[in-house]
Structure 1
Amino acid sequence: MNLFDLSLKFNGFPIEKAKTALKAIQNEKEFTSYIETKKQDIVSYHLKYNPFYKTFAKNADTLDWNSIPVMTKRDLQQPLMNRLSEGFSKKNVYINKTSGSSGDPFIFAKDRFCHALTWAGFIDRYGWFDLDFNTSKQARFYGFPLNTKGYYKERFKDFLSNRYRFSVFDLSDAQFEKNLVKFKSTKFDYINGYTSSIVQFAKFLQLKNIVLKNVCPTLKACIVTSEMLFEDDKKLLETYLGIHIINEYGAAELGLIAFQNKNGEWMVNNDDLFVEILDENNHVLPYGEEGRVVITSLYNKAHPFIRYDLGDIGKLSKNSTANKPILETLIGRTNDIVVLPSGNKAAGLTFYYVTKTVIEDGGNVKEFIIEQLKIDTFKISYTSREELSREKIKDINKAIETYLEPGLSIHFERKEALERSNRGKLKQFKSYL
């Protein structure tokens, strides 16, 4: 039984219509013209039917894309009813809220066809790896609401989506032993979830010298999302899960943004989204240059996401084309920037990556996070089997001095567990400046 498709239909989301539309989009012969037309159409629609957008983009010219203003999350932090287009209400749209990982959470809406098209995109991409939302069994490493109503709602959604949820709040060896038993007794087709939690499970498998594919032969792939996937972590996952590792990039308010194919290319979703990389002055950067990820939702008529600054930093590959945009790197969030005493800046994950490379040589440290307390003061909190030695701390300080700058004060604190969000995500760098 196609429970997933049926649940979408039952809730008013026309999934069959969306699947048909997606095929038509992907068969467009003049794809560049299609994108340009859809960009103009969505701007024209909201200028005509959305009072909020009329005011926000009062100087916009639908024929001049550079005249279309860039919107940020803070622009949208006002009551949802103020932002809905004419003909839409809370009763006939899909409503959700952003995760708040950028520090600027807000409630948003999508019209029902747009939401169905989002799911059609996910279904299509998962099909690249012979995964079916209706029939493939998912091992899910995600958080869940701690309140009773939210908890049972998520569990019901898990049932409809043919998935079993593993806790990301308990990453102990004892819990991982229980996870392993579940994998032995269940014919899972794929793993999906937060990168950090799945990496911790892989480290447990490494200690046990177990390849998960040998325990659960039906496994085909692992899809990691919501957090950065580093190359050495990917190799660890490939080795001890024994399956394809797929990097997924998405956002609640937009849906699927990029998905890795079998060649390892991070394919940008240009079916229902238009993705740009902009500099600080909102100028479009050429392929291969790093900047702000700005996205237009081409089909959301209920709520405008037009030249929407997602809050991420990344770059498109030089091999990209309008028909085939490829995301080369995703650096991190714009609010995850390290500001140094010299005035220099660095991506927070650069700091994290440098430290990670040194710390993990011996495999002692399980996880760590970095916090910038003052402009010259950082704290590294970590979990480990043993406390870091003086030599290891010295090596980390030396690496930080080499890759960032000298004179920084680094404090280390060993903890039993690291603080996660209420959904189970691990924020790897945080600045208090």
Structure 2
Amino acid sequence: MNVFDFSLKLNGFPIAKAKRVLKDIQSKNEVDFIAFAEEKKRDIIMYHLNHNPFYKSFGKNIDLNNWNSVPVMTKSDLQQPLEQRLSEGFTTKNIYVNKTSGSSGHPFIFAKDKFCHALTWAVIQNRFGWYNINFNSSKQARFYGIPLNKVGYYKERFKDFLSHRYRFSVFNLSDEAFAATLQKFKTTTFHYINGYTSAIVQFAKYLEKKNIVLKSVCPSLNVCVVTSEMLFETDKKLLETQLGIPVVNEYGASELDLIAFQNPNGNWQLNSETLFIEILDEKNKVLPNGEEGRVVITSLYNKAQPFIRYDLGDIGVLSKKSTIKTPILEKLTGRTNDIVILPSGKRAAGLTFYYITKSIIENDGKVKEFVIEQVKPDTFKIIYVGDETLSESQKQTINRKIEHYLESGLHIIYEKQNKLNRQKSGKLKQFSSYLNKKK
């Protein structure tokens, strides 16, 4: 029985129709697809101008014949009561409602109409299908957060049961917890792993310490899909070695859809079927493929509320190999609110700072994981979890590298903790700048 699809249908999400529509979109040739994309962009703008009072006011100067006249929408624009953003005919009773994780610092409640949400799941199932994963039959080992209150906890456990998933909490990454995790893999026929990068990396480090390759104790495993956090090349190699299976990188946003998924050729293929994705500069000008800028996305099917030229808050690069039908994300370099602003005025992506430190701090295996916070223009705090306190020699090595790659005169504070504080969702924010926080 197709339990996963049935549960979607039971909740009013027309998954069968969504799969038919997706198949029809994917069958179009490149020329027809270009025409289709232009038509869907125009249709969704016209719909919201005619049926959404919020967007009619927001986009009052739009010229339908000039895409560049469409204003860019930010998360702060959407931080108002949901009822004020809904299109005519939609209420909280006939839509899908959820909340963003807040990792960008701008959390808000969002809505999708039920067909749009069904399309989201059709795209996700299609991408996982590239690796022979069937949501109705394949068993998932899930490394995600879980609500700690009883109602939320059991609700998620029930959803996991219907979805052929078993959830491992990411809030306890101790050796004792990982020993129990390993035992579950030994006794369960898992087909794939899915979850937050940092938690799965920590499990891989535990396996490395125990000299265990996971597939040797769970032969049914075929692939690991990591999501929501950056996947560094060194971590990917560790995962592939200790899990013994291919590692696939996913990029998505709950308010939109699955955005990019690594295809079997190793390319990060963007979702062009339900989204229109642009890379813009600071003046909202479209950048040519190969240049770095802001990731701005239009949801082509969401009629419940508009996400049109929506600035997701991420910075990325489209590959020069991209086509309209098959765009490729060459690089995702972080979030716009995670920029290091140095005393000299120099700017750098926060994850660059993290990566410099990572190459040194984890070499001896004594540091399990760490995060970096910018507390003042010239002051950074490195908070880490490890078996031992960093020596003065190690600290000096890190300080020299930071000075070499960034600039001199920076103050680095080191703080050892027993565990890192994760967000409510379970995600680990690897770099945070308090200079960018709202006051």
Residue 265 of structure 2 corresponds to which residue in structure 1? 263
Amino acid of the residue matched to residue 296 of structure 1? T
Residue 324 of structure 1 corresponds to which residue in structure 2? 326
Could you tell me how far 1:338 is from its partner in structure 2? 0.6
Residue 72 of structure 1 corresponds to which residue in structure 2? 74
Structure 1 residue 124 and structure 2 residue 116: aligned? no
Residue 34 of structure 2 corresponds to which residue in structure 1? 32
Distance 2:188 2:164 in 1: 12
Could you tell me how far 1:333 is from its partner in structure 2? 1.0
Residue 160 of structure 2 corresponds to which residue in structure 1? 158
Residue 19 of structure 1 corresponds to which residue in structure 2? 19
Could you tell me how far 1:63 is from its partner in structure 2? 1.5
Q: TM-score, normalised by structure 1?
A: 0.99
Amino acid of the residue matched to residue 289 of structure 1? E
Unaligned segments of structure 1, at least 5 residues: none
1:113-146 CA distances to partner (integer Å, 9 max, x unpaired)? 0000000000100000000001000000000112
Distance 1:416 1:264 in 2: 37
Q: 2:137 aligns with which of 128, 135, 138?
A: 135
Q: 2:298 aligns with which of 267, 292, 296?
A: 296
Amino acid of the residue matched to residue 77 of structure 1? Q
Could you tell me how far 1:324 is from its partner in structure 2? 1.2
Distance 1:221 1:76 in 2: 37
Distance 1:424 1:252 in 2: 15
Could you tell me how far 1:421 is from its partner in structure 2? 1.0
Residue 6 of structure 1 corresponds to which residue in structure 2? 6
Amino acid of the residue matched to residue 8 of structure 1? L
Q: 1:186 aligns with which of 185, 188, 201?
A: 188
Amino acid of the residue matched to residue 12 of structure 2? G
- Detail structure 1 runs of 4+ shifted over 4 Å in the superposition: none
Distance 2:263 2:117 in 1: 23
Could you tell me how far 1:61 is from its partner in structure 2? 1.2
Distance 2:387 2:201 in 1: 16
Secondary structure, aligned partner of 1:145: coil
Distance 1:273 1:99 in 2: 20
Could you tell me how far 1:310 is from its partner in structure 2? 0.5
Deviation larger for 146-155 or 404-413: 146-155
Amino acid of the residue matched to residue 147 of structure 1? N
Distance 1:34 1:69 in 2: 22
Q: 2:364 aligns with which of 347, 362, 365?
A: 362
Residue 110 of structure 2 corresponds to which residue in structure 1? 108
Deviation larger for 15-24 or 321-330: 321-330
Distance 2:65 2:360 in 1: 52
Amino acid of the residue matched to residue 265 of structure 1? N
1:319-363 CA distances to partner (integer Å, 9 max, x unpaired)? 111121001111111111111000011111000000000112212
Secondary structure, aligned partner of 2:205: helix
Distance 1:223 1:202 in 2: 14
The residue correspondences of 1:209-220 to structure 2 (distance < 5 A) are 209-220=211-222
Q: 2:391 aligns with which of 378, 389, 392?
A: 389
Distance 2:122 2:425 in 1: 25
The percentage of counterpart residues that share the same residue type is 69
1:238-290 CA distances to partner (integer Å, 9 max, x unpaired)? 00001110100000100100000112100000000001000000000111111
Amino acid of the residue matched to residue 75 of structure 1? D
Q: TM-score, normalised by structure 2?
A: 0.98
Structure 1 residue 197 and structure 2 residue 233: aligned? no
1:21-53 CA distances to partner (integer Å, 9 max, x unpaired)? 000000112111111111011001111111100
Q: 1:45 aligns with which of 44, 47, 52?
A: 47
Distance 1:226 1:138 in 2: 17
Residue 63 of structure 1 corresponds to which residue in structure 2? 65
Distance 1:373 1:265 in 2: 37
Amino acid of the residue matched to residue 121 of structure 1? V
Task: Give the superposed CA RMSD.
Answer: 0.7
Distance 1:70 1:390 in 2: 48
Secondary structure, aligned partner of 1:139: strand
Distance 2:404 2:330 in 1: 26
Amino acid of the residue matched to residue 172 of structure 1? S
